[in-house]
Amino acid sequence: MNAAPTDKRRLILDAAVRVFARQGFHTCRVSDIADEAGVAYGLVYHYFSSKEQILDTLFLERWEVMLEAIAQADASPRSPEEKLGAIASFIVDSYRHDPDLMKVIVVEVTRAANTFGLTHVDRIREAYSRIASIVADGQRDGLFRAEITPAFAAQAFYGCVEQVLTGWIFDSEPVGTAELERAKWMIVDTICHGLSSARAPEATGPGPGAAAGSASSKSA
């Protein structure tokens, strides 16, 4: 009925996130997960058929949430730029909320072209597809220019986001809130308005001053 006082399955899943993040999927042992969860070895196999299935479960759980977030952003009565901002914001907040989980997804799944990435390629591409659809709407409304294909734009946007996450993931120290917030704005601003200074300044949105300006640049 309710979430039992000890939902061992959840315990294992959460432990796996920490262990995968710390040691990597290939480097960790199932016993590491069991130990981290504080349960017996065999219980892992009571709930999951293999180590792989744990990662699959983790990825799918989270990715469905993300697809839903993208759908909601798209459904809102906002400009395309604001929609992209909502998505970037969601992903960055996901990282803030559970950096280990995002690390696992980015490191072990999204680029794992021979293993998990291949398994989940359709689900992964669904996200790009939905982002591309937002861009296409922007083009139709004349807000986005037509030279850049929506599919490419989606790749550029998502690639930019993931690279930022990757930078944080490689950092030895945790990332501050200010930097997280600034990243949201910079991602959208860069993708929508580019690096070049030869553009109409009024489109900028909240502007760089809005986010806590002090933050580092250690990630470079």
Partner DNA sequence: CATGAATGAGACTTCATTCAT
Partner DNA sequence: TATGAATGAAGTCTCATTCAT
Angle 153-138-124 from CA coordinates, rounded to 5°:
40
Residue placing its CB nearer to DNA in the complex, 47 or 155 = 47
- Which tokens hold the place of 140? 């139709």
Which x/- pattern over 139-178 shows residues binding a second copy (rule: CB under 8 A)?
Answer: ---xxxx-xxxxxxxxxx-xxxxxxx-xx-xx--------
Using the rule CB under 7 A, is 188 a contact of DNA?
no
Q: At residue 114, what are phi and psi to the nearest 5 degrees?
A: -105, -10
Q: Does 46 bind DNA (CB under 7 A)?
A: yes
Does the protein bind a second copy through residue 203 (CB under 8 A)?
A: yes
CB of 149 to DNA, least distance (A): 41
CB of 107 to DNA, least distance (A): 17
User: Degrees (nearest 5) of the Cα angle 109, 186, 182?
Assistant: 90
Roughly how many angstroms between the first and final C-alpha of the chain, as a whole number? 48
Cα distance between residue 100 and residue 77, in whole Å: 32
Applying CB under 7 A, what is the total number of residues that bind DNA?
A: 19
Q: Which of the residues 48 through 67 are near DNA (CB under 7 A)?
A: 49-52
In the region spanning residues 96 to 115, those forming contacts with a second copy, defined by CB under 8 A, are: 103, 106-107, 110-115
Greatest CA span in the chain, whole angstroms?
Answer: 62
**31 is in the binding site of which of DNA, a second copy, none (Cβ under 5 to 8 A by kind)?**
DNA
The values of phi and psi at residue 204, to 5°, are -65, -25
Contact 116, 59 (CB under 8 A): yes
Shorter beta-carbon distance to a second copy: residue 2 or 106: 106
Q: Which of 75, 90, 102 is nearest to 174 (CA)?
A: 102
CB of 48 closer than 8 Å to CB of 8: no
Least Å from the CB of residue 121 to a second copy: 6
- Tell me the backbone φ, ψ of residue 77, rounded to 5 degrees: -85, 60
Sole window of 9-17, 51-59, 85-93, 195-203 interacting with a second copy (rule: CB under 8 A)? 195-203
Binding mask 23-42 for DNA (x = CB under 7 A): -----xxxx-------xxxx
Q: Which residues bind DNA (CB under 7 A)?
A: 6, 8-9, 28-31, 39-43, 45-47, 49-52
